[in-house]
Amino acid sequence: MTAVHHKFVLPALDMSGKPVLVSGGTGSFARAFVDTLLTKNAPRRLVVFSRDEQKQDTMAREIAAAHPNAADRMRYFIGDVRDLSRLELAMRDIDYVVHAAAIKIIPIAEYNPFETILTNVHGAENVVKASLRNGVKKVVALSTDKAANPINLYGASKLASDKIMVAANNLAGRDGAKFAVVRYGNVIGSRGSVVPLFDGLIAKGAKALPITDPRMTRFWITLEQGVNFVLSSLGLMNGGELFVPKIPSMKMTELARAMAPGLPHDIVGIRPGEKLHEVMITEDDARLTIELDDRYVICPVLPRWSSEHLKAAGAKPVGEEFRYSSEINTEWLDAALLNGLIGRKAA
């Protein structure tokens, strides 16, 4: 096992001069996505589509302060992916869509299944319909490691969303919109993740950090890496691919020790719907999976789809017994790398 900080080597799609929309536009990913585009590109129009006006107002102030020359390109569009007609209005004259809206918190999804299906499944369907009706060129939907062999509703709903996005290429025809999916692990430092939770407990003088199970492992990626992975996948996609980054794993106990080496652990037990380890590619998907230097690609079974663009980038098939799971990963984070990624000095 090696300690790594993975870099994605394939070039990002240049969004300069392009109209772009991001759903779930005030979430952690979307906020970083908008910052990156305004810093590195000059999109002609950048639409933030979300349903919380307070978060939009806060984001608009922060973006205006950080990017004072970008005000004329920003649009803040109140709406819900459950509302097809509102999505259709928002996507007028949009070329690229990044679909990041979802109900993500596992216990909340378990307790509110109807709402989760409306947002995660019907919302994905609405994104497809609105994209096709507005002549969008490319759509990338954000998925999750929990969509592979799901045992909770969040994972199951995102698996359904993934299938909808891949199958949407059948509806688009030869010259219509292209749809693809990116699937990655836990995002370090994102809102609601374990790093801010532990930071808050440490700041309040906690006597122990809660650990669900001492054997638990997870894949980890930073917001910056996630944004770069999405942008490079937009550039590489031909429609129907499911892109999975090569990212490191870390045991939850090691993460806790890295953040607070002097604190003991309180073993609280796995929550309903949680897995001990996360899988991003199953053995059943291995026969459809090819490998690039910085990612895996689960290829679609679609008419007229070809992997030639991926082979040209150096892709090769994985073995039939291949399985990409957090506990058998060959790349691991150590304490120094973790603390570097979350921008803190070693404890």
Using a 10 angstrom Cβ sphere, with 0-12 exposed, 13-18 middle and 19 or more buried, the burial of residue 217 is buried
Assess whether 40 carries a catalytic annotation.
no
Helices 53-66 and 28-40 pack at an angle, to 10 degrees, of 30
Query: In b/e form, how buried is each residue of 55-70, taking b as 16+ CB within 10 angstroms?
Result: bbeebeeebeeebeeb
Question: Which member of 18, 104, 138, 146 is catalytic?
Answer: 146
For residue 174, report the phi and psi dihedrals to the nearest 5 degrees: -65, -35
* C-beta neighbour count of 268 within 10 angstroms: 12
Q: For the chain, where are the alpha helices, taking DSSP H only?
A: 28-40, 53-66, 84-90, 106-111, 113-117, 123-134, 153-172, 194-203, 223-236, 252-259, 283-286, 308-311, 335-341
- Nearest 10 degrees: CA dihedral of 141, 145, 150, 153? -60
- Where is 213: in which H helix or E strand? none
User: Is 23 in contact with 99 (CB distance < 8 Å)?
Assistant: yes
Instruction: Please report how many Cα atoms fall inside a 13 Å half-sphere around the Cα of residue 203, on the Cβ side.
Output: 6
Between strands 331-332 and 295-298, the pairing is: unpaired
CA angle, 254 then 260 then 261, to 5°: 70
Tokens 């004072």 map to which residue?
Answer: 68
Q: Which candidate, 42, 173, 187, 176, places its Cα nearest to that of 102?
A: 187
Which two tokens mark 198?
């532990």
Cα–Cα dist 95/135, whole Å: 7
- Where is 242: in which H helix or E strand? strand 242-245
Which residues are catalytic, by number?
146
